[in-house]
Amino acid sequence: MSAATPEAPADPAGEVLTPLAVLPLKTCLAWGVGTVAVAALFNSVNVLLLRYVVDYAGISAGVAGAMIGASKLYDAVIDPVVGAASDRHRSKLGRRRPFLLAGTVLLAIAALALFNLPTGQLALPAFLFALLLYATGYALFSVPYMAMPAEMTSSYHERSRLISFRVAAVAVASLLAVFIGPVLMAWAGGGQPGHRALSIFLAAVVLGAGTACFFGTAHASFNADSAAAPRATWAEKARSLAGNRPFVMLLAIKLLQLMALAVTQASMPFLFRRVLQLDDRMMGIYFLIFYSTMIAVQPLWVRVARSRGKRKMYIFATLAYAATFSSWYFVDGDTPLMAVFARALVLGAVGGAVLLFGQSLLPDTMEWDYRRTGLRREGMLSAVYTIIEKISYALGAAVTGIILGNSGYIQGIGVAAANQPPSAITAIYLLASVIPLGFLALSAIALLFYDLDEKKLNSLPRR
């Protein structure tokens, strides 16, 4: 390594960042804003879609949850195909960026389709078509997008810095989806007109952020001149990827954590309306506090990770996240607003750490794979990771829908729906607190077996 210079600053943990390793701020911003394109729609789908489908499109909670879960079988096919294609693709625009543009267009169309479902006999086929369109657009954008960080820098800590821009963008996108979105829905009169206004807003956000990422990364440096992964059967690919133990452990950790997050996101609208007796405006304020805090703490967690280590702080944040989620079990209609908003503050702070550390481990495992094999197959690794991500959220939504459907939950927005049976209220409590607590606790145990740190990564030379 070369000596530290103004162009190659010394990292607090002792690593010297070379000019190629230090990413320009504009590059970090351009790549990070791409997350807004997928996360705005992603969070709207996770938080608002199930209730929309159940209460406004007339599809039962059990059927809707099952359809969301079943649609993920398609993801298991499309994601690896996109990943392998982006690994092999060569063009003047780069091997990843053309996929971003195609995904942006499909995601914008999917935003319009998902929240403008017809009622009656056409509701189910229209919902299925919208889910498949959404899955295709998501794969085309997200799989190549998540492969880019491992190619943009070889620095262990610089990747954490880059990912912090993505986490901040997740928070911004989530604010657009669950704060601005509900306000816009209320302004448009609620119901189907409100959801139509939401869909137009989301489509505009997707198009703006997606194209900004595409054009903004045009001059980014990519260390992707090594050999791409050769063609192989799916069985051969599976056996090869299974040899990357840190990656396999990361998949298990993310599966558990994202299922916890998916269940809580899908159940939160029900908790606010049926348990806390609060309207969408109060839920919007809750998410405003949550995601604003998540943005604010990112620089702090990046510094802490450099001095204390990613895994150690990841475990701490996961346990704090779990403990705070469990506190929803003790709320009711008389819970003060300040107590509700205090939970948003704490969950935003520790949730920001959970997202940052979890996502920054992915490019680390990609770098480990490259150093072991000499092959650039970030797209394939990203595809598998994205499948786990989608499966997690699909299972979370399915669990929420099935549990609500079997609890006697009363659909609709009328007087009957406002007086839910005790079994339905109990189900909402479990979904918002006990179930995520269990998933997060298991993920913390899995983290104990993840051992890829900076020292182990640097034990293999860069190629």
pLDDT band at 2 (very low <50, low <70, confident <90, very high): very low
Segment 406-416, tens digit of pLDDT: 898 887 666 55
Closest CA to 266 of 398, 176, 388: 398
Averaged pLDDT of the chain: 83
Segment 254-308, tens digit of pLDDT: 999 989 988 887 788 889 988 999 887 788 789 889 989 998 999 999 888 888 8
Q: Residues 6 or more apart from 424 whose CB is under 8 A from it?
A: 274, 404, 407, 408, 409, 410
Q: Name the percent of the chain lying above pLDDT 70.
A: 89
Is 423 a residue whose pLDDT tops 50? yes
CA distances, 268 to each of 75, 287, 344 (Å): 26, 10, 12
Query: What pLDDT sits at residue 15?
Result: 41
Rounded to an integer, what distance in angstroms lies between the CA atom of residue 228 and that of residue 445? 35
HEC profile of the chain:
CCCCECCECECCCCCECCCCCCCCHHHHHHHHHHHHHHHHHHHHHHHHHHHHHHHCCCCCHHHHHHHHHHCHHHHHHHHHHHHHHHHHCCCCCCCCHHHHHHHHHHHHHHHHHHCCCCCHHHHHHHHHHHHHHHHHHHHHHHHHHHHHHHHHCCCHHHHHHHHHHHHHHHHHHHHHHHHHHHHHHHHCCCHHHHHHHHHHHHHHHHHHHHHHHHHHCCCCCCCCCCEECCCCCHHHHHHHHHCCHHHHHHHHHHHHHHHHHHHHHHHHHHHHHHHCCCCHHHHHHHHHHHHHHHHHCHHHHHHHHHHHCHHHHHHHHHHHHHHHHHHHHHCCCCCCHHHHHHHHHHHHHHHHHHHHHHHHHHHHHHHHHHHHHCEECHHHHHHHHHHHHHHHHHHHHHHHHHHHHCCCCCCCCCHHHHCCCHHHHHHHHHHHHHHHHHHHHHHHHHHCCCCCCHHHHCCCCCC
Q: Residues 6 or more apart from 52 whose CB is under 8 A from it?
A: 115, 117, 195
Segment 195-244, tens digit of pLDDT: 999 999 999 999 999 999 999 888 776 654 445 555 555 566 667 677 78
Q: Could you confirm whether domain 32-219+236-457 is CATH 3.20.20.140?
A: no
Is 186 a residue whose pLDDT tops 90? no
Task: Count Cβ atoms within 10 A of the Cβ of residue 105 and give its class: 0-12 exposed, 13-18 middle, 19 or more buried.
Answer: middle
pLDDT band at 459 (very low <50, low <70, confident <90, very high): confident
Q: What is the mean pLDDT of residues 56-65?
A: 82
Query: Are the CB atoms for 257 and 314 separated by under 8 Å?
Result: no
Segment 26-55, tens digit of pLDDT: 888 999 999 999 989 988 887 788 888 888
